[in-house]
Structure 1
Amino acid sequence: MAFEIERIELVIFDWDGTVMDSVGRIVSAMQSAAQLTELPVPSDHSVKQIIGLSLDLAFSTLFPAMTAAQHQRLFEHYREQYVERDPTPTPMFAGAEALFLQLRQQQKRLAVATGKARKGLDRIFAETGLAHYFDTTRCADDAKSKPDPDMLLQILAETRLHPEQALMVGDTSHDMLMAQQAGIPRVGVTHGVHGIEVLSQFQPLAIVDNLPQLQRLFTQPAVTLPL
């Protein structure tokens, strides 16, 4: 399959599990929050499947029978656990900033489409100093939850680009389906939640194991990639 780098003007990144290695903290924070809310504690696998969704959709998927009061308590406990109490590290994946720098040097525009709340992404940008790489971002507060294509359609409208001029990079089926529904080419990354067997179902241009591999795809104007 031809991966025509020159046609791509905008690269859109998911965040958790794609750019930041935060899956472990999301899982443990969600399990702790469930326990504190006196809800059934979900398995690691179950929590991983909701990563990338907005919190409201994630909660209703994991705990379909919970009450409105439990929902509010769960939200408060999860936010406290994730931001303040859970010690699980959340480093950037190796090669993330080098990739952003290279893409900017190649005159690519960058964006983020994440299930994080705006407050959460702003906090991460403040901690990492990475905000200047991105032209625009969409968070759970701004659009319908993945896999609805609303986030990506908003980004395309703002940047005045066509779907074929953009590329979505993500680690979950939610990212791939969102891009597929928006008509945007996509690349899957296996170092997050889903492996090749899931990501390949959404006809990505390529599937890579890490960000340095993705960076190498942008070193030539066109390259043919086997899936």
Structure 2
Amino acid sequence: MHHYKVIIFDWDGTVMDSVERIVSSMLSAAKDVALTVPTVDQIKQIIGLSIPEATKQLFPQSTPEQAEALRLSYKKHYVEIDKTPTPLFSHAEQLFTDLLAQGKYLAVATGKGRDGLERVFELSNTKHYFHTSRCAKECKSKPDPDMLNQILTELNIDASEAVMIGDTTHDMLMAKNANVDRIGVTFGVHDHQALSEYQPKAIVDSLLALSNLLVKS
């Protein structure tokens, strides 16, 4: 799998181990806004989607006012209140370094907002690894292919020369909709069986295993 010119990463659950903070922050926000509190599994299923799309799925009866209150409460919990650690997954920076050394373009396609992605870029000191990124509000939400199409257009890369790395079926379906190859990772939200339904080129259990596929020895 060394022919890809651009490797596009999802963020939460793929690069950063942030799933537990997302879940706990959404649980707290739902309580704050007095909406029916979803289950942990229900919240995990919307990770990767933009907040408006996630809200529609989790709280279909919510009013626009409740949706906005939920967004603000979730952001406050995630950024200021919740202290659940969100480290990078093991081997992430080495993988980025090795791919860049071999002349690859790196990109991020995430359901985070731009301010959220820039914040975690700064906290993890990782922005310099990536040539470009696309976030919620800048594109249509996953699984629409808009994020990937915009990245490919900006970098002047054909879909056949790109691969999407993600931990959710939203990532896999987005890539499939864009005619982009995909690799699933099992250490985030969705398991091997769920990811395999979207015909990924591979499914790996660690970023080290991903490195063994993408980096020339």
Q: Which residue matches 1:12?
A: 8
Q: List runs of 5+ in structure 1 lacking aligned partners.
A: 222-227
Does structure 1 residue 66 correspond to structure 2 residue 62? yes
Q: TM-score, normalised by structure 2?
A: 0.98
Contact 2:14 2:165 in 1 (8 A): yes
Letter of the structure 1 residue corresponding to residue 13 of structure 2: G
Give the share of equivalent positions with the same residue, in percent.
53
User: 1:144 pairs with 119, 140, 144, which one?
Assistant: 140
The secondary structure found in structure 2 opposite 1:202 is coil
Letter of the structure 1 residue corresponding to residue 200 of structure 2: P
User: 1:126 pairs with 122, 142, 165, which one?
Assistant: 122
Q: How many residues align?
A: 217
Alignment of 1:60-99 (within 5 A): 60-99=56-95
Post-superposition, which runs of at least 4 consecutive aligned residues in structure 1 deviate over 3 A? none
Q: Which residue matches 2:174?
A: 178
User: 1:53 pairs with 49, 52, 58, which one?
Assistant: 49
Q: Deviations over 1:151-176 (max 9, x none)?
A: 00000110111111001000000000
Q: Which residue matches 2:186?
A: 190
For 1:145 and 1:69, the matched residues in 2 are separated by 21
For 1:112 and 1:220, the matched residues in 2 are separated by 22
Q: Deviations over 1:87-133 (max 9, x none)?
A: 11111100100100000011111000000000000001111111111
Q: Deviations over 1:17-58 (max 9, x none)?
A: 000000000000000000010001110000000000000000
Q: Which residue matches 1:155?
A: 151
For 1:41 and 1:108, the matched residues in 2 are separated by 43
Contact 2:99 2:215 in 1 (8 A): no
**Structure 1 residue 141: deviation in Å?**
2.0
For 2:83 and 2:128, the matched residues in 1 are separated by 27
Letter of the structure 1 residue corresponding to residue 25 of structure 2: A
Q: Which residue matches 1:32?
A: 28
For 2:71 and 2:127, the matched residues in 1 are separated by 26
Letter of the structure 1 residue corresponding to residue 112 of structure 2: K
Q: Which residue matches 2:165?
A: 169
Letter of the structure 1 residue corresponding to residue 7 of structure 2: V
